[in-house]
Amino acid sequence: MSWITLLPPAVVFVLGFATKRICLSLFTGLLLAAGIATDFSPVGTFSLAFDDLWKNTGIPMLLSPGNFSKAGNFFIVSFVLCLGILIEMIRHSHAATAFVDKVEPSIKTSKAAETGTLVLAHCLSIDDYLGSLTVGSVMRPLTDRFKIPRVKLAFLTDSMSAPLAMITPVSSWAAAIIGFLTENGVHATRESDTLLLANPYSLYLSILPYVFYSVTLVLSVWVIVRFRLSFGLMHKHEVIAEQTGNLAGGKPIGDHQSKPIGRAGHHAGIWDFLVPICTLLGSTFIYILYFGNNKIFGGPHSFLETLQHVRISLVLFFSGITALSISGIYYLIKKTFTFQETLEVVYHGLKLMLPVAAILLFSWTMGDLLRTHLKTGEWLASLLAGSIPVWLIPLILFWNATIVSLALGSSWATTAILLPIALPMVFAMVGAEAPAAPEQLPIILPVFGAILSGAVCGDHISLISETTIMATTSAMCDFMDHVKTQLAYSMPVFVGTSIGFLAGGLLTGISPGITWIICLTLSAGTSLGMLFSLHYYNKEKIPVTL
C-alpha cells in the first residue's frame, strides 16, 4: 500500500467539513476504503463494507458460544442507548432543574460552573467513555443556567476524557497500556521474547510524566477556565450566548424538540437526579470489581490486577442496564411517569442516541478497514525506519502517532500499531542488544511518551474519534462546531508538545529528572504562552457583531 491509503480519511475530513453530515461522510469513507482494499470491484467493495459493518456491530460475537463477553462494540452501543434513555428520564422528570436549583447557591459564576465540570471529569477519569458520555449530560443544565455555550461544555468534557484517562494510574487506559507493553516484549523476567527487562506497570508509571500532550492539555484547560481565556469561534459562541441567550452560536438548539412527558403537577427533588446518576456510577465501580475477579468477590486479583483484566465495555453495558432498570422502577413508584409515559421516554431516548450509534458503527468499521485491510498505520510508521537521526525519534514518533490516530480515530489502535514498530527500531538505531534495562536506553521513555501523546492527540482532534462524538452528544452541540473550536484550542498544546519532544531527544543522556523538568516546562510554557497571546490578540480585535 502507499499514499492512497490516506485517501479515505482525507475524504471524510473534506466531506465532513463541507456537508456537516458526519454519517454520510463516514459511510462514503468506509466505502472508499473497502473499494481500495478490493481494487474497486463493485461486488467485493459492498461485500467487504457490509461484512465489516455487521462484524463491528458485535452481534456475531454475541451469538458465538463462549464469546459473549467479547462483544465489546455491542455493549458500548447498548450503553450509549441506555444513557440516552437515562438523559431523557432526567429531563422529562425535571430532575436536572432540581439539581441546578440545589447546587446553584454554591455556584455563583460561570467560572465556578466550568470548574465544577473539570472536577467531575477528574472524578470520572477511570474511563474515557464514561467521562465523555456522563460529564456533559450531568453538567449541561447547570452550564446552561450560566449561559456557557454548548461547544465550551463539549470542549471541557472531551479534553478531560481520553487525555486525562491516559495519565490516570488507575484506569482502563492504564490496564490497556500495560497490556500493550507486555505484548511487545516488556517483562519483569528474562523470557525468549523479552526486549526490555522491567515490570510493565512500573515502566508505565515511569512513562506517565513523558506523556506531554495529556499533561500539558489538562494544565492548559484548567488555565483556560480559571483565567477565562477565549478566542476564535469559541469566543464568538460565548459572546452570542451572553448577549442573546442562544447557546449554540445562533443556531437552533436540538435538545428541546419534545415537551416534557411527566405529569404537570409533579415536583422534582434532588433524589430524582441522584438516583439515576449515583446508580450509574456506583454500579460501574461494583461491576469493575465483579467482572475483574477482584478479591472482594472471591477472585484472585488486587485492584490493579482487576483493572488489567476487566472488560470495560461489559462493565458499561451492565451498569447502564442496572441504572436504567432501577431508575425506571424509581420513577414508576414515585408516579413521576405512568407506564405509557415511560415507554414514550424510552422512545425519545433511543431517538436521541440512534444517530450516535450509527456514527460509532461507521467509525469502527472505517478504522477496522484502515487497520486490517489498507494497513495505513504500518505504512506511515515504516516511512520512519532508517531515515532520521536518533535525537529526532521522539518528535517524529509524536507527529507520526498523531497522524495515524487522526486518520483512524482510535488512540488504542494507534498504540497497538506503533509500539511493535518503535521498540525494535530504537534497539536497531542505538545498537543495543535485547534484553536490556530501560536505563540502558535513555531515549526509551521519551519514545513511549511520544507514541502515547500522539495517540491521544490525534484521537482528541479526530473527526471520527468515538470520544469526540460522545462528548458532542453529551453536551448536545453542533458536531462540526465542536471539532473546529477544539482544534483551535488544541493546536497550541500540539506545538508545545512538539517542542517538548524535540528537547527530549536532544537532552538524551543527562539526568532523566532534569530532562523531564526541562521538556515539560518547554511544552507547558509554549502552550500557555500561545493561549494567552491568542486571548489578548482576540481582545484587541473588533468585537463580535451579531
Q: What 3 state SS string does 334-364 have?
A: CCCCCHHHHHHHHHHHHHHHHHHHHHHHHHH
Phi, psi of 197 (to 5 degrees): -90, 95
490, containing H or E segment = helix 479-506
Dist CA 487 CA 481 (whole Å): 10
Q: Where are the alpha helices (DSSP H) in 104-170?
A: 110-123, 128-145, 150-159, 162-166
Instruction: Give Cα separations from 543 to 149, 236, 316, 471 (angstroms).
Output: 18, 9, 45, 29
The residue whose grid cell reads 489502535 is 413
Per-residue confidence band for 493, with pLDDT thresholds at 50, 70 and 90: very high
Q: Is residue 143 part of a domain?
A: yes
100, containing H or E segment = helix 95-103
Q: Is residue 236 part of a domain?
A: no
Q: Is residue 459 part of a domain?
A: no
State how many domains the chain has.
1
Share of residues in the chain with pLDDT > 90 (%):
31
Mean pLDDT along residues 266-271: 78
Dist CA 27 CA 228 (whole Å): 39
Mean pLDDT along residues 207-231: 94
- Say if CB 151 and CB 490 are below 8 A apart: no
Q: Is residue 234 part of a domain?
A: no
Q: Give the Cβ contact number of residue 257 at 10 Å.
A: 10
Instruction: Please give the pLDDT value at position 255.
Output: 57
C-alpha grid cell, residue 359: 456514527
Q: Give the Cβ contact number of residue 370 at 10 Å.
A: 28
Mean pLDDT along residues 501-523: 88
Residue 474 has pLDDT above 80, yes or no: yes
Q: Detail the DSSP E strand segments found in 210-322.
A: none
Residue 531 has pLDDT above 90, yes or no: yes
Per-residue confidence band for 515, with pLDDT thresholds at 50, 70 and 90: confident
Residue 257 has pLDDT above 50, yes or no: no
Dist CA 119 CA 124 (whole Å): 9
Residue 109 has pLDDT above 50, yes or no: yes
Distance of CA 345 to the CA centre of its chain: 28
Q: Give the Cβ contact number of residue 244 at 10 Å.
A: 12
Dist CA 127 CA 346 (whole Å): 26
Dist CA 478 CA 231 (whole Å): 18
More confident residue, 363 or 36: 36
Residue 91 has pLDDT above 80, yes or no: no
To 5 degrees, how large is the angle CA 128–CA 53–CA 154?
Answer: 30
The CB-side HSE value for 163 (13 A sphere, CA atoms) comes to 27
Instruction: Give Cα separations from 191 to 421, 431, 531 (angstroms).
Output: 20, 21, 48
Model confidence pLDDT, tens digit, residues 517-530: 999 999 999 999 99
Instruction: Please give the pLDDT value at position 175.
Output: 67
Dist CA 349 CA 115 (whole Å): 28
Model confidence pLDDT, tens digit, residues 438-469: 888 888 899 999 999 999 999 898 887 878 88
Per-residue confidence band for 51, with pLDDT thresholds at 50, 70 and 90: very high
Q: Is residue 462 part of a domain?
A: no
- Say if CB 289 and CB 301 are below 8 A apart: no
Where is average pLDDT lowest: 37-41, 112-116, 201-205, 315-319?
A: 201-205
C-alpha grid cell, residue 173: 487506559
SS3 395: helix
Q: Is residue 332 part of a domain?
A: yes
Per-residue confidence band for 205, with pLDDT thresholds at 50, 70 and 90: confident
Domain that holds residue 343: 67-149+256-356
The CB-side HSE value for 511 (13 A sphere, CA atoms) comes to 4
Q: Find residue 508's DSSP bridge partners.
A: 510
Instruction: Please give the pLDDT value at position 315.
Output: 84
Mean pLDDT of the chain: 84
Q: What is the pTM of this model?
A: 0.75
Q: Is residue 406 part of a domain?
A: no
Length of the chain: 546
Q: Find residue 186's DSSP bridge partners.
A: 196
The residue whose grid cell reads 516484549 is 185
Q: Is residue 123 part of a domain?
A: yes
Instruction: Please give the pLDDT value at position 223.
Output: 96
Q: Give the Cβ contact number of residue 535 at 10 Å.
A: 17
